[in-house]
Copies of this chain bind each other. A is one copy, B any other.
Amino acid sequence: MFKIICQDKETRARLGEITTAHGKILTPAFMPVGTIGSVKTLSSEELKEMDYQLILANAFHLYLKPGIEIIKKSGGLHRFMNWNGAILTDSGGYQVFSLKNTKVTEEGADFHSSLDGSSHFFSPETSIKIQEILGADIIMAFDECLGYPTEYKKAEEAMERTARWAIRCKKTHKKNEQLLFGIIQGSIYKELRKIAIEKLEKINFPGYGIGSLSVGEPEEMMLEVIDSLVPLMPENKPRYLMGLGKPEQILEMIERGIDLFDSSFPTQIARNGSCLTHQGKIIIRDSIFKDDLTPIDEDCDCPVCRNYTRAYLRHLFNVGELLALRLASYHNLFFLNHLMKEARKAIRENRFASFYSLTKELLTTKLL
């Protein structure tokens, strides 16, 4: 289900292809975040138009609202949200362990809904069953997530429990057309990450997520963990760094051999009035753009850049029109998908290192 099309000679970057029940996904790939069945402000038709092949949703949020019965009745999440491309669902581990008062035992995690305070229980088995009903193409094992900092002993316990839970996830999972990925825990401790991948490889998952990174630790530390972990991960399986991030970070991680990414960053900054460009991020709601008749990004070919000016976008933000949030979100997601295409092209042409250093410099320019 995963084949490496081409390996960059100078870096760990690789061009790959994941085959799913809803089409093939070229990697490296970025997934727009549609947590609760909608990528914020955008329609499924627009994501298709932007040429996204894979989006992310979240089992925990969909379990709470609208509830899995409704999605089951709808014929699964694809039909519920009218998305014919591939979907990856996160298991809910991250969300459950982000809540206050979550109690973890070997069996699973007791938590209270932040919506109404109601009591719920997620175990590896419930998470997999929920994800089977949602019907995503790639699903994630239920893991114990930790923030930063976490002391060694606690990180070790969580990593070991996650590995034991991974066995239960694999055993429960029956839906052959779904790919179940394991999640590597171990916080910032390289030796724990090493043990984690060894344990998970024995279970033999078709792909691996890297969890509990980009959760507040210094970036240097994250890079060290990735640099020591990636060479230990199997070559022939996709590597998914969960919850990252900014365009320049994504390129940095592609260089280190990561294949999959997700982040609400591009849509979140869009709703705050920031747009990604080939010359750095711009705060489009700034009054300096009030009579700027150029597009958000001269080098972008998205419909927003073809049809609207910075002056119009700035006006929409200034008067609080919802169209502003849509147009900025569309542009940012189009921009990021285009960046992934450029990255894949650079790998194919064996020039990723030079592409990366040039692009990183441009992306991190402080225009404003």
Contacts and interface: CB of A to CB of B under 8 A. Distances in A.
Contacts of A272: none
Interface stretch (A85-93, A179-187, A309-317): A309-317
Interface in A303-352: 303, 307-309, 311-312, 314-316, 318-319, 321-323, 325-327
B41 A322 contact: yes
Contacts of A37: 312, 315-316, 321
A120 B308 CA distance: 30
Contact of A69 (B82, B291, B315, B322): B291
A234 interface: no
A293 interface: yes
A297 B312 CA distance: 34
Contact of A80 (B66, B80, B311): B311
A66 B322 contact: no
Contacts of A291: 69-70, 73
A269 interface: no
A277 interface: no
Interface string A287-300: 00011010000000
Contact of A70 (B73, B82, B315): B315
B311 A38 contact: no
Contact of A81 (B70, B73, B312): B312
Contacts of A312: 37, 74, 80-82
A135 to B, nearest CB: 15
A295 to B, nearest CB: 11
Given A312-B74, A312-B81, A42 B323 contact: yes
Interface of A: 36-38, 40-45, 65-66, 69-70, 73-74, 80-82, 290-291, 293, 303, 307-309, 311-312, 314-316, 318-319, 321-323, 325-327
